[in-house]
Structure 1
Amino acid sequence: MKSTSDLVALIDQHLLSQSGAVIDYPFGPEPTVYKVAGKMFAWIAVREDTPVLTVKAAPADVEFLVGEFPSITPGYHMNKRHWITIRMDGQLQRGMLEQLASASYHLVVSGLSKAQQSALK
């Protein structure tokens, strides 16, 4: 198992590998916010000495994931129906974190105009 900081670096890389993804700091030095076409699709911060990843999810998925995984809670400082916060404490595999991050990206992109979506391809 990789260290927590290695996992954060790998998730950061994955988030930035999404077409058009950029980092922003609209709230100060933390959290690191990931946006596409000006819309946030993820952020990473440290809460209670543990890195957390917050991503968007479909409401039915939010309910399932929060109920199924102790390390997933409703989105910290976000709409609890549409966002989840994941403690990156080793309970969830890197692949699952990447899947949830990619799903968040695609949810946000699907809400963009056709022209914005086309520009990302």
Structure 2
Amino acid sequence: MDSIKAKRYLLNKLETIEYFPFGDDVSVFKVKHKMFATLALGKGNEKGTGGKMAGHYCVNLKCDPEEAVMLRDIFSAVIPGYHMNKAQWNTVILDGSIPQGEIERMIDNSYMLVVSKMTKKDQASLLLHL
């Protein structure tokens, strides 16, 4: 999955908006004012990533802590969330090594984890359409 497909998939999630609180080079995706993903181009100088992100778009996704560790064990392109809570976020490097369907599943899970923490009223307005 490339950055264009990832962005399109993220924006197709119900009531998702994109904004740029960290500058023009980092897209933040929110559902009802709650962040569930970021998308940015890796520069290669990201501390603690071993240069893995260099030249690749990367998406940060919320994740169940146990699943986060399993995904990191399975996919070398999944690392602890860069600039995020490392227990609850993963950074997925869009280098072509992970099947598109798996990335879509991770995006869906991130979205639903955020929705599950919303008020019942906010959840109801979204879940009616899912």
Query: Would the TM-score normalized by the shorter structure come out above 0.5?
Result: yes
**CA deviation map 1:7-45 (0-9, x unaligned):** 211111111111111101111112101000111000110
Specify the SS of the correspondent of 1:105: helix
Which runs of structure 2 are paired with 1:12-51 in the superposition (5 Å)? 12-47=7-42, 48-51=54-57
Matched, 1:61 2:67: yes
Look up the equivalent residue of 1:117 and give its one-letter code: Q
What's the TM-score, normalizing by structure 2? 0.85
Percentage of pairs with the same residue: 34
- After TM superposition, the runs of 4+ consecutive aligned structure 1 residues lying more than 3 A away are none
Q: Quote how far apart the aligned CAs of 1:96 are.
A: 0.8
Q: Quote how far apart the aligned CAs of 1:119 are.
A: 2.1
Which runs of structure 2 are paired with 1:98-113 in the superposition (5 Å)? 98-113=104-119
Q: Quote how far apart the aligned CAs of 1:78 are.
A: 0.1
Matched, 1:11 2:17: no
Q: Quote how far apart the aligned CAs of 1:49 are.
A: 1.3
Unaligned runs of 5+ in 1: none
TM-align CA RMSD: 1.1
- Identify the residue that residue 85 of structure 2 maps to in structure 1: 79
Unaligned runs of 5+ in 2: 43-53
**CA deviation map 1:44-93 (0-9, x unaligned):** 10112111011000000011111121110000000000000011001001
Number of aligned positions between the proteins:
116
Look up the equivalent residue of 1:14 and give its one-letter code: Y
